[in-house]
Chains A and B, each alone.
Chain A
Amino acid sequence: MNATVASEYSAERHSVPIEHRFNPYSDNGGTVLGIAGEDFAVLAGDTRQVVGYSINTRYEPRVFDVGDNIVMTANGFDADGAALIDRFRNSLKWYKFDHNGKRLSILSAARYIQHLLYGKRFFPYYVSTLIAGLDDEGRGAVYSYDPVGSYEREQCRAGGAAASLIMPFLDNQVNFKNQYVPGSDGKKKKELRYLSLEEVIQLVRDAFTSATERHIYVGDGLEILIVTKEGVRTEYFPLKRD
């Protein structure tokens, strides 16, 4: 008595929205690379920012000195990278206010960044994060992360657009993978040793010039931040702009 007699479609849900979801991410290219030495660490990145086939700018720094002899980069989606680094800087500032200006060790910084990243596990910061500095014994340290915060300490790591081009080169040149003592018939591995700062910078420059040749998201300029016990200093080298 109470129901309207209608077509069988009337029970069906009308006006369901068609989903064209807004994509909150973009890929802004660029590549970064960190190497730890015996008493220093470097963190390098190119300065090109892209979106699609357009170059936004040829100079937008992507590696930052965040204080307490720690350098940091978050490469991938630039807005997320900037937000992550901003948040870390702000926390570090408050850590100092709250703890009488105490220095934050790179070990603690590394664990804290894990929490920043994992805190957005279900809407991640779309970045590969690297930090570099000196550990409590004064040895070079590089920590690398995935977008949701899984991290480890390493001797070297490449991240970003050309990570897959640079990482195997680093494996071979820093950790001497697949290198054997000449004349040992491939039986005796080349012994590991620390590289000097000069060797490392040369390696970084070679890595980036090669990546620039083969990857369209890499180029324009190379900025290397070098951490020693004296502090952080920056070196800039031009890269091809094509």
Chain B
Amino acid sequence: MNHDPYVWGRPDDAVYGAYNHAIANASSHGNVQEETSFPKMNSQQPIITGTSVNSIKFKDGVIVAADNMGSYGSLLRFNNIERIFKVGKETVVGVSGDISDFQQIQRLLDELEITEEIYDNDGGHNLRAPNVHEYLTRVLYNRRSKMDPLWNAVVVAGFNDDKTPFLRYVDLLGVTYGLSAICTGFGAHLAIPLLRQLVPDDKDYQNVTEEQAREAIINCMKVLFYRDARSSDKFTLVTLKQGQPPKFEKDLRCENQNWRFAKDLVGYGSTQL
């Protein structure tokens, strides 16, 4: 017997009429008319997501950190995603939100790096963070204007032409802002208050040392792991210092966790008073 169900045959069209594909939402098998009458759909929500990106300026550089998790709703789907990557010589981009859109952004920026950095068509000028940020802003704003957004919030870190640290944000709507401490997503609520203790005013980053900034960011990653259910304790931390290539530290862990507070939590699905 041939075990392939496909050759078993089906009721003869001449006797029973053509199969009604509308039954049980069967696909239309190349029926173009029906396929095109279905509205085109753009992304309406992120699917696999990355949570916060946290960053702060210090005296002569920037630190950016993001964990390595990719969530599928509440499911921990991936734990090996590097959401911070290098563009050009001295710029890094940290991306939160939809992971597939993040990978699209990564491809776009790889292409940008090839056209701008490999072929020197501008007399020795380098691709710097402000240029990368401006480019990303245009991409994200144009996509939102097509009602087909790239579902991300992005932090661009690097240096200005005058070698001062650069840190700026852009999101799926094309809204941008610059600041001495930037966190996306949950970090904007939990980590920003901790980082603003170091930089209460924008220019105060000039008094912050690399060690202070690093300690604060690592503390933020721990605090976020305590309370952000979509975060992991494994993260990547990138240090940018003027005149040096970005230093990537991968597979860092939140150390000295203390969960004793958890037994006292009331509400939020735990014990009620």
Contact = CB atoms under 8 A, between A and B. Distances in A.
Interface residues of B, number: 31
29 contacts: A1-B17, A4-B20, A4-B23, A6-B20, A10-B23, A11-B22, A12-B22, A14-B22, A15-B25, A17-B39, A20-B45, A22-B42, A22-B43, A22-B147, A22-B149, A24-B144, A24-B147, A26-B175, A54-B189, A56-B177, A58-B179, A60-B178, A77-B173, A78-B177, A79-B144, A79-B175, A82-B174, A83-B174, A123-B145
A28 B22 contact: no
A15 B38 contact: yes
What secondary structure prevails in chain A residues at the interface with B? Answer: loop
Interface string B166-206: 00010001111111000000001100000000000010000
Interface string A144-173: 000000000000000000000000000000
Interface in A185-235: none
A10 B176 contact: no
A157 B144 CA distance: 31
Interface in B118-171: 141, 144-145, 147, 149, 169
Contact of B20 (A10, A12, A21, A79): A10
B49 to A, nearest CB: 16
A94 B45 CA distance: 40
Nearest to A28: B175
A3 B17 contact: yes
Nearest to A79: B174
Contacts of A24: 144-145, 147, 149, 173
A2 interface: yes
Contacts of B25: 14-15
Contacts, number: 75
B18 A82 contact: no
Contact of A26 (B20, B23, B44, B173): B173
Nearest to B148: A22
A49 interface: yes
Nearest to A12: B22
A14 B25 CA distance: 6
Nearest to A10: B22
A24 B43 CA distance: 12
A57 interface: yes
Interface string A1-38: 11110100011101101001110111010000000000
A51 interface: yes
A59 interface: yes
Contacts of A4: 16-20, 23
Contacts of B149: 22, 24
A82 B144 CA distance: 14
A60 B177 contact: yes
Nearest to B24: A14
A85 to B, nearest CB: 13
B273 interface: no
**A-B pairs with the 5 shortest C-beta distances?**
A79-B174, A4-B20, A57-B177, A57-B179, A56-B177
Given A3-B17, A58-B202, A21 B176 contact: no
A14 to B, nearest CB: 5
Contacts of B43: 22
B17 A57 contact: no
A2 B17 contact: yes
Contacts of B23: 4, 6, 10
A49 B189 CA distance: 15
A58 to B, nearest CB: 7
Interface in A42-88: 49, 51, 54, 56-60, 77-79, 82-83
Contacts of A6: 20, 22-23
Given A2-B18, A20-B45, A123-B145, A56 B169 contact: yes
Interface string B36-72: 0011011111000000000000000000000000000
A25 B179 contact: no
Contact of A25 (B16, B19, B22, B173): B173
